[in-house]
A and B are shown apart, each in its own frame.
Chain A
Amino acid sequence: MKKKGWLPILFVCLLAFINFSFLTNSNEKLIKNFTLKSVDNKKVSLNDYKDAKGFVVVFICNKCPMAKLYSERLNKINEKYKTQKVYLLAINSMDTLAYAEESFKLMQKKANKDKFNFPYLQDKKQVVAKQFNATHTPQAFIIWKHKESNKFSIKYEGTIDDNAAEPEKATKHYLTSAIDDMLQNKPVAKPKTDSFGCRIFFRGEKQNMY
């Protein structure tokens, strides 16, 4: 049962790797379009953003103390970069069966309370988290659009900055530096950083959830 559930995903990843690996210069992971429901009940797809150069995809959730610390910073990042056609999407991939706090209703409440100026999307089937290999919240990704295809490749993955609790003490703003690099057509100086927070448990996998 467990293995069966994984096979199609592995297969898709394999296909993606075979078909599109020539588009990338390195081992950058490819992301295909996804559609998720936003807290305003609208469906949101990467393909909806016709003019997008790329996206900042941040896995967050309602309950995690670490993810909670970044609401204001995410609003600022979106405010700054959406004018440059880099859009922020926040995704909640937590298992709603395991966590009462991660329900869609409470997502709406959080988005309202924290005045999110970006879509807060529910990844109810946890497929987008698996596509990104997201492991915990908050975890940020920058994906950049290929000119020739509908695919995106991951240009950055990791932490937002180097101080979760005290934003004013953060000295390294890894995520925004990486966006700036991309916008200036430069290779991202630090494409991968360590990030930490609350683990995303995937339903049906061996884990300590039940």
Chain B
Amino acid sequence: MKKSIITIIFLGISSLLEAQYNDIRIPEALYGTTFDLDIHESLKQIKSGTQTITGSINNETFWGPTLFINKGDNVSFNVTNNLNESTTVHWHGMHLPAVMDGGPHQIIPVGTLWHPYWKMTNDAGTYWYHPHLHETTEAQITKGVGGLIIVKDDVESALPLPRNYGVDDIPIIMTSRNFDASNQFSVGRAYGDYMLTNGTINGQITLPKQVVRIRFLNAEIERGYNLGIVNSAGVTKTFYVIANDGGLLNAPVAVTRLPVHVGERYEILVDLSGETSTLDIKAYNSGQSNSFPGGEPIPPNFQIGQIGQNVQFTSALNNTTFNVLHINVGAVTSAPITSIPTTLATNTYFTAADALISRTVTISGGQPAGNPFVFDNNVFNINTINKTITVDKTEIWTIANTPNAVFGHSFHIHDVQFKIVSRKLGTAAATGPANYESGWKDTFFISKGESVSFVCRFKDYADATHPFMYHCHFSQHEDDGMMGQFVVTGTPLGNTNYTPSTKFKLYPNPVDTKLFINLEDPLADIYYITITTLEGRVAMMLPQPQWQNGIDVSNLSTGVYVLKMMDKATKSITSKKFIKK
């Protein structure tokens, strides 16, 4: 007992001694309308000693590039899975067809190119992409697969806001990790002993002495961050929330503390113009309520890196205040932003009165400890559609973490941005959302004993085949089945009784670069194309392909392939072979 206390004190002192800061990485920015993402494994020096195997995208070694996209653009993605296991890539927060969404159904096998595309209709804001393969999400997110998407639009561009990426507009991706004796990520504990800021331990950055914008993403497995900013004189800074998950608020909201839970994004402004020394962004996670993720106490004999059932819900950072980012104040840039704007966007939010349909999702399970949490008493079943939604109808959803709640959760629903209209804790009267979360959201924290209602509309993309997901964004909860799925349905256009012929021809064959499809029936259309080798290895996955212009097969190696065409009306598959020169 004594020995372990000494060990803990020693670890505490040695971590203080180790508190030299490391410059954080600003992920590479990619611009345009076509994005090539190569997901693979690589190595990164995260801790001293052996390098850590990470999941990487393109040239980044932990956490992928930031994709800048303009609202209104048609964007497409060439996602190649070069990991040694299957994955998916989900576009978190995006409004898009379900078949492009990258949920657990859009599995990208090893070596396969997946080509989703859609028209960007989301407002300017901070979104993200990450793996979503059922039962593997925790492991793949732990490796660092994922990245930010920054959407730009005219409203945001017209405002006097910092937007010089990496200079006065800073992405901060927060997560924590555990390492085994070989410095490799260990999976299984809900919380990490080491805080990683953009993949860096003890992260620091130099920011100009002016108003700066920080885009926070909580990319954790489970931990929440109760963020605050303090300067070296010990003065707590007021900072201003300007955007939630789905874009700008109507006006900045001044705060000194900001809880950011798993999956949530908050953009803030902080004025550094009066600062003369350094500042720290900290997570003030001590003394939180017992359903705050990461608030659980550290058991007396706990040691860093320890694993096992009794330490599953603890870490060296639990129930404590710890550094997220050390800020050195540097020189002012040219044309700095010097004041906080008083107004931002003009949002017309849904109200509860707009809703025509109401739904309730009840959280249960988790008891006894270690049992899975579930929605509506059912573990996720990939073959069950839990909800069928009519396109373009406004709905109110109430998520109830009652009556036998055990813990808090981070609720996320795909496809939509919603407006939280009420939060009700226990027997207290219902209130609106806090001002800082009063904007468009796709993810929120629901504490033990709470009911949260939000209003949303499932627009545009009716597809009775492919579902969207709603789930707890704590990846262990999600992997254990705290997830449901819904399809958005609508009246199909045209004659629904007509069954088109699915016959087609491929030309030229053999093909060099572009393969054209000639559908015999002009009324037929293509829902999905999969190109496989003769052995059955998947090479390309093309949801709702823009086949009229031909399919680019130039990246296939020489050989015989099978093109499997699923038609839109009957969802039946017709196959044809072709030879790649």
Contacts and interface: CB of A to CB of B under 8 A. Distances in A.
Interface of A: 63-66, 94, 97-101, 159, 162-166, 194-199, 201, 207-210
B51 A196 contact: no
A196 B43 contact: no
Contact of A164 (B50, B84, B133): B50
Given A65-B41, A97-B537, A208-B86, A194 B110 contact: no
A98 B109 CA distance: 8
B536 interface: yes
Contact of A199 (B84, B109, B182, B537): B84
A208 B53 contact: no
B276 to A, nearest CB: 41
14 contacts: A63-B82, A64-B41, A65-B42, A97-B537, A100-B533, A195-B182, A196-B53, A198-B41, A201-B85, A208-B133, A208-B135, A209-B110, A210-B107, A210-B109
A196 B184 contact: yes
B181 interface: yes
A90 to B, nearest CB: 17
B86 A209 contact: yes
Interface in B42-60: 42-43, 45, 49-51, 53
Given A64-B84, A165-B51, A166-B51, 15 more contacts: A65-B40, A65-B42, A94-B84, A97-B535, A99-B111, A162-B50, A163-B50, A164-B43, A195-B182, A197-B53, A198-B41, A198-B84, A199-B85, A201-B85, A207-B85
Given A199-B84, A199-B85, A210-B86, A164 B110 contact: no
A61 B43 CA distance: 17
Contact of A209 (B42, B45, B109): B109
Contacts of A195: 182
B521 interface: no
Interface of B: 40-43, 45, 49-51, 53, 82, 84-86, 107, 109-111, 133, 135-136, 180-182, 184, 533, 535-537, 557
A65 B184 contact: no
A196 B187 CA distance: 13
Nearest to A66: B53
A100 B537 contact: yes
A195 to B, nearest CB: 7
B114 to A, nearest CB: 15
Contacts of B537: 97-98, 100
Contacts of B136: 208
Contacts of B50: 162-165
Contacts of B111: 98-101
B110 A162 contact: no
A194 B41 contact: no
B43 A65 contact: yes
